[in-house]
A and B are shown apart, each in its own frame.
Chain A
């Protein structure tokens, strides 16, 4: 059973370009979480998705950022018109179906390191 896959592992973009980060959850996992880690800091929650639904996007910047988790295919975190401050490591995690208030371990991918020139 492969772990959480993220690609690309490294992404370089110039200011104003778009960045697309992909996350394939573990087999059988229907919940996906995106986190951002700035240099020398901890991870910050961005968004929590289930298949075709955004459950909690309270950590997403209001502009330029969007996320989706379609019925088929990986989850995508999209950053439009990137700026230097978007340079960070973006981690995806997945977990199996959970009941409310219960918790299953989140399994993390290796991350995508975005550099904006």
Chain B
């Protein structure tokens, strides 16, 4: 499997519910980041968590990192229609970012 795999591949939830996406990776990392990509658009950086951190919050976003399991999760609370997008995790190591395959999140109004 690839470095940085997200699951699920696709997720549909009702507006107002929480959305959780997971990411697994293989190699040691300096940090892990989450990005959002709206359809046909560029990437928006959401949050960065360093390898010595276990949890980080930013607004409605909560990210956890478990380096022993080489996994991370992104939680979006109180989802909104505007959260509909693809979400990618990316690990930073060897001076470059390695992206996962992404989770397509659809928020149903």
Interface residues of B in 84-109 (CB under 8 A from A): 88, 90, 92, 94-102
- The answer to whether A56 touches B95 (Cβ under 8 A) is yes
B92 touching A91, Cβ below 8 Å: no
Q: How far apart are the CA atoms of A107 and B45 in the complex, in Å?
A: 8
Q: Which residues of B contact A69 (CB under 8 A)?
A: none
**Considering the chains assembled together, what is the distance between the CA atoms of A44 and B98 in angstroms?**
7
A43–B37 alpha-carbon span in the complex (Å): 11
Please indicate the chain A residues that have their CB under 8 angstroms from the CB of B100 in the complex: 42
Q: State the interface size on chain A (CB cutoff 8 A).
A: 24
Query: How distant is B48 from chain A, measured CB to nearest CB, in Å?
Result: 7
From 55 to 91 in chain B, residues with beta carbon under 8 angstroms from any chain A beta carbon are 88, 90
Cβ B30 vs Cβ A45 within 8 A: no
- Which positions 38-57 of chain A face chain B at CB distance < 8 Å? 41-45, 48, 55-56
Q: CB distance A45 to B42 under 8 Å?
A: no
Minimum CB–CB distance for B14 against chain A, Å: 25
Cα–Cα distance between A93 and B31 once the two chains are bound (Å): 17
Report A-chain residues with C-beta under 8 Å of the C-beta of B92: 103
What is the bound-complex CA distance between A13 and B79, given in angstroms?
40
C-alpha gap A56/B93 in the complex (Å):
12
Is the CB–CB distance between B43 and A33 below 8 Å? no
In the bound complex, CA of A92 to CA of B103 (Å): 22
Given contacts A103-B30, A103-B31, A105-B48, contact A42 B42 (CB under 8 A): no
* Interface flag for A25 (CB, 8 Å): no
Given contacts A48-B96, A56-B95, A56-B96, contact A41 B42 (CB under 8 A): no
Chain A residues with Cβ under 8 A from B44's Cβ? 108
Contact A33 B97 (CB under 8 A): yes
Given contacts A33-B97, A35-B99, A108-B44, 7 further A-B contacts (CB under 8 A): A43-B99, A45-B96, A100-B95, A101-B30, A105-B45, A107-B45, A113-B40
11 contacts between A and B (CB under 8 A): A35-B97, A42-B99, A42-B102, A43-B43, A43-B88, A100-B95, A105-B33, A106-B45, A107-B45, A110-B42, A111-B41
Q: What are the 4 A-B residue pairs with the smallest beta carbon separation, nearest first?
A: A42-B99, A110-B42, A43-B99, A108-B43
